[in-house]
Amino acid sequence: MSAEATVNQLLSLGGIEIGGGNPWDLEVHEPRWFARVLRGGSLALGESYMDGWWDAPHVDQLITRVHEARLVRHVRRSPSAQWAILRANLINEQTPTRSRIVGRAHYDMGNDLYQRMLDRRMAYSCGFWANARTLDEAQEAKLDLICRKLKLEPGMQVLDIGCGWGSFAKFAAEKYGVRVVGVTISQEQAKLAQEMCAGLPVEIRLEDYRATTGVFDRVVSIGMMEHVGRKNYRTYFRVAHARVKPDGIFLLHTIGTNTPHTPDPWARRYIFPNSMVPGMRQLVAASEELFDVVDWHNFGLDYDPTLMAWHDNFVRRWPEIEARYDQRFYRMWTYYLLSCAASFRARTNHVWQLALVPTGTKHTYRSIR
């Protein structure tokens, strides 16, 4: 069977056609695409989109169907993709020295991009859309949800591990009267976070979470766990345990996945170097005898509208920043946002918020929604 016939047969499992009239159907511009995708799987699918070899009216709908039909299981991974997965599971790619790679490659690429793509508070994680109509409302609802789950009170000292551009630190200081120390490995994030939090009881530090000192009433980590790496999960929870008071609360907000041992090779190469999304069992095992999980909240479907809102902002404001980038970057970034939205829509990925208390804590924790 030819490569084209094989690919057409696979796509039919997801109800996808080449040259069809549905918004999820493919238009192939380069005949070599069929053999390339069969050889390279998901990595080749993303790279060939960046190269302009194919298009679809709605890439997010296409990738959703790819996930739902589990088409990746029918395509062999390229040797480079197989090696990337093996390396991710065998080697510690997130040592204190290597942890800064993702900071330089992704978060330092330009605050101008993120200021145009994100909400007004610059929260770069899933919003909470239960009662929200806009991205700004969804992100403020998420930040307030976290503050309520942490049961913040005025005067408390809070550590924010992986503070980003300071969205949580600023919100918590303004709305709940707490003092916040935020740590990040991104120079650009630290610089802008310091500007955004000026005049508030917020300290932003440019440092690895493993170098942080002090003891805090509360510890929070939002969208940071994805960069920790499985070799460091236990260390991560030990650090959080050492930083939070015995009667304190640790709130972990992270993406979770059903396939923790198979990180996406395209995302690791082009978007988040050395990233690894944790699985449920990994989080439980790494936190055992340190923390009790007193609440586990999954609202992964909310990442779909969050990512689509980011995509809309990015496309709408692209003319303001395109001089700094190029068309290949535009296609790469749109594929990133739309394919990620699809992964949450298809429940391949999730968003988990875990409330944890140090093992042996006697106070009662009541779940917040």
Token pair of 354 as six digits: 């875990």
Homologous superfamily of the 99-301+346-358 domain (CATH):
Vaccinia Virus protein VP39 (3.40.50.150)
**pTM of the prediction?**
0.93
Evaluate whether 254 touches 146 at the Cβ level (below 8 Å): no
Cα 351 to its chain centre, rounded Å, is: 9
Predicted confidence at residue 243, as pLDDT, reads: 98
Q: HSE, CB side, 13 Å, CA atoms: give it for residue 247.
A: 5
Active-site residue list? 340
- Report the distance separating Cα 92 and Cα 97, nearest Å: 11
Nearest in space to 202 (alpha carbons), one of 185, 184, 225, 223: 184
Residues 6+ apart with CB under 8 A from 144: 171, 175
Predicted confidence at residue 88, as pLDDT, reads: 57
Digit-by-digit pLDDT tens for the chain (369 residues) are 799 999 999 999 999 999 999 999 999 999 999 999 998 889 999 999 999 999 999 999 999 999 999 887 756 555 655 555 555 565 566 666 655 555 565 676 778 999 999 999 999 999 999 999 999 999 999 999 999 999 999 999 999 999 999 999 999 999 999 999 999 999 999 999 999 999 999 999 999 999 999 999 999 999 999 999 989 999 999 999 999 999 999 999 999 998 887 778 899 899 988 888 999 999 999 999 999 999 999 999 999 999 999 999 999 999 999 999 999 999 999 999 999 999 999 999 999 999 999 999 887 898 988
Evaluate whether 141 touches 134 at the Cβ level (below 8 Å): no
- Report the distance separating Cα 299 and Cα 18, nearest Å: 34
DSSP 126-175: ----TT-SSHHHHHHHHHHHHHHHHT--TT-EEEEET-TTSHHHHHHHHH
Other Cβ atoms closer than 10 A to 158: 27
What's at 280, amino acid-wise? M
> What does the domain layout of the chain look like in residue ranges?
3-76, 99-301+346-358
Helices (H), 252-298: 265-270, 280-287
Predicted confidence at residue 110, as pLDDT, reads: 77
Predicted confidence at residue 62, as pLDDT, reads: 98
Residues 6+ apart with CB under 8 A from 128: 138, 139, 141, 142, 145, 299, 302
What's at 200, amino acid-wise? L
Kindly provide the b/e burial profile for residues 299-313, where b requires at least 16 CB atoms within 10 angstroms of the residue's own CB: bbebbbbbbbbbbeb
**Phi then psi for 152, rounded to 5 degrees?**
-70, 145
Token pair of 202 as six digits: 């917020």
Predicted confidence at residue 98, as pLDDT, reads: 57
Evaluate whether 183 touches 210 at the Cβ level (below 8 Å): no
**Going by DSSP bridges, is the β-strand pair 291-298/349-358 parallel, antiparallel, or unpaired?**
antiparallel
